Amino acid sequence: MSYPKIGIRPVIDGRWGGVRESLENQTMGMAYAAAELISKNLTYPDGTPVQCVIGCTTIGGGAEAAKVAEQFSTENVVATLSVTPCWCYGSETMDLDPLTIKAVWGFNGTERPGAVYLAAAMSAHAQRNLPVFSIYGHDVQDADDTSIPADVSEKLLRFARCAVAVGLMRDKAYVNLGGVAMGIAGSNCNADFFQKYLGIRAEWVDMTEIVRRITLEIYDHDEYEKALKWVKANCKEGFDCNAGKNLPEVITKSKVVPADKDWEFIVKQTLVCHDILYGNPKLAEMGWHEESLGRNAIAGGFQGQRQWTDWLPNGDFMEAINNSTFDWNGKKCPTVLATENDTCNGVAMLFEALLTNRAPVFADVRTYWSPEAVERVCGRRPEGVAANGFLHLINSGAAALDATGVSKDESGNGCMKQWFDVTDSDIEAMLGATDWCRANYEYFRGGGFSSHFKTHAEMPVTLVRFNLVDGLGPVLQLAEGWTALLPDDMHEKIDLRTDRTWPTTWFAPRLTGKGAFKDVYSVMANWGANHGAFVYGHIGADLITLASMLRIPVSLHNVEDDAVYRPHTWASYGTRDLESADYRACEQYGPLYR
């Protein structure tokens, strides 16, 4: 892949004859220290360290700024970090490229006024309509102190992590397999949004293409045999809700794939979907060159309901295994594939995956359970993180298996790992905690299998939703919280009130006592749609920073104000009401790719 890189710009006092010469080593030292920090702590989706490009010269004026810009233009630099320990000439040394994400780190020392340059640079960027992130240590350092303080390190890494996510999306595609599912507005793909805000091309592939490739056997036959053998050995079947039912003829005559052939069809469907998104050179060897190219995807969605599921096996296995951190070939990077082609939820999943290298989990935000309602149904109130009530996150069988929470960290706690840290024992545990229930024919006439599990661990997670609002534009919502473990009898009584063939996660958001987070009911009451996506870890601060880079305001979050990190000019839109300032700044600057 063509890796998006962070360009490090060592900015220096341009006065030759003693001043500049005395600062060369210190300035370049800051550049190398920042590059080392980033490359040691951040990775691309394939697990390789994030790459930095250090300017070929220190930058004391416009000529050297242009020289470094030319250097970066050949290196796929998507973000620039200007570093300096001293005073420099602000508007002469700044990065003027409107498409690079920008930050400036000014060394906090008293011998040389790096912080003074930082303030001057912030002013210059504001006047030039170029948002920039300010990085400045809390405590004064000695001039010979080459360490990076913890607060500076946090900002450097957050900036780089989010900027790389922006770069990874650029010039990729979101592939719609089908169109709008059941009138769900979120699955109406807005091509303008993807292009202008994310730099992503929207593409559409009719679902008949999947049928064509299965019918004409346009897939890797060896891979099919391997995958089918693995499925039969590892994907145990669970409860069949259709057993014993006298189903109407409109349902029985709609099942054109025999029940005992479902898995064969589903595995082919999964292979075909992957080939459509990414391509497959094996197809070219088989004489299908066009099909071998793929669609340059970074994410996609499958419509399924109802034009597909009314007569063909559903896409639940295809979606679940794509979003998981493993398949029949072992551990792998998750492929973002949205259920019901909810492109808005696909955006949320994409952000989560790019920021964490972990599996994003698609879910219905189904039900708010108050402590009183739980007590009425179960005879006692919930405890622990669920004591104030919780949300029932449940998907129609297509959730990533990582959400079982049975992978173990170094301390033996249940977790959801970065994909490259997943072990064979983790994979075995996730498969063991999941069964595959035959789809309810009343809803899915074509059959198929839904992943069925419950989340077995209390884990920190962040629930995210992306929305499009007419007259307002794109907005992001997020809620940090924890998955909750309910006693078995309480879990059963509540879970069985919905669909017993689907996966369940109980989610308790962290409450703040005010606004949308004054209680759990208010979180759901202010949620923007019937869907959301969650991922392991409290990543709200990263999501807020990423959204600001893309000029997407955040309408709901429970991240503390001190952790909110946006471009410096956002402060000019107000410092008391950060949410309002965010809206106005995003409106003023507009989408990243106009």
Q: Residue 279 CB: number of other CB atoms within 10 A?
A: 17
CB 306 within 8 A of CB 182: yes
Spatial distance between the Cα atoms of 384 and 380, rounded to a whole number of angstroms: 13
Mention every residue, 6+ apart, whose C-beta is less than 8 A from residue 25.
none
CA dihedral (362, 365, 367, 371) positive or negative: positive
Residue 364, annotated ligand binder? yes
Judge residue 17's burial from the number of C-beta atoms within 10 Å of its C-beta, 0-12 exposed, 13-18 middle, 19 or more buried: exposed
**Has 340 been annotated as catalytic?**
yes
CA–CA separation, 268 and 282 (whole Å)? 15
Catalytic residue among 13, 262, 316, 340: 340
Whether 587 has a binding-site annotation, put simply, is: no
Query: What is the gyration radius of the CA atoms in the chain, in angstroms?
Result: 26
Q: Does the annotation place 249 within a ligand binding site?
A: no
Q: State how far the Cα of 372 lies from the Cα of 204, in Å rounded to an integer.
A: 46
Sorted by sequence, the CB contacts under 8 Å of residue 466 that are 6+ apart come out as 344, 345, 347, 348, 351, 474, 475, 476, 477, 552
Q: Give the DSSP per-residue string, 510-556.
A: PP-SSGGGSSHHHHHHT--SSEEEEEES--HHHHHHHHHHHT--EEE
Other beta carbons less than 10 A from residue 334's beta carbon = 25
Kindly report the number of other CB atoms within 10 A of residue 475's CB atom. Answer: 20
Q: Identify whether 95 is a catalytic site residue.
A: no
> What is the spatial distance between Cα 403 and Cα 459, in angstroms, rounded to a whole number?
10
Identify the active-site residue in 13, 95, 319, 364.
Answer: 364
DSSP 83: E
- Closest to 327 (Cα-Cα) out of 267, 392, 265: 267
* Cross-sheet strand order for the sheet of 77-84: 52-54, 5-10, 77-84, 101-106, 133-135
| List of E strands, 470-517 | 473-484, 504-509
Q: Compute φ and ψ for 226, nearest 5 degrees.
A: -65, -45
* Phi, psi (rounded to 5 degrees) for 203: -130, 150
User: Which phi and psi (to 5°) does residue 391 adopt?
Assistant: -105, 140
Residues 197/550, Cβ–Cβ less than 8 Å: yes
Nearest-angstrom CA–CA distance, 105 and 31: 10
Question: Per the structure block, which two tokens stand in for 287?
Answer: 């004489």
Is the peptide bond prior to 306 cis by the omega test (within 30 degrees of 0)? yes
CB 432 within 8 A of CB 326: no
Tell whether the torsion through CA atoms of 212, 214, 215 and 220 is positive or negative.
positive
Task: Enumerate helices (H) and strands (E) in the chain, giving the number of each.
Answer: 20, 23
Q: Which residues are annotated as a binding site for Mn(2+)?
A: 340, 364, 531
Q: Which residues are catalytic?
A: 340, 364
Q: Provide the annotated binding site.
A: 340, 364, 531
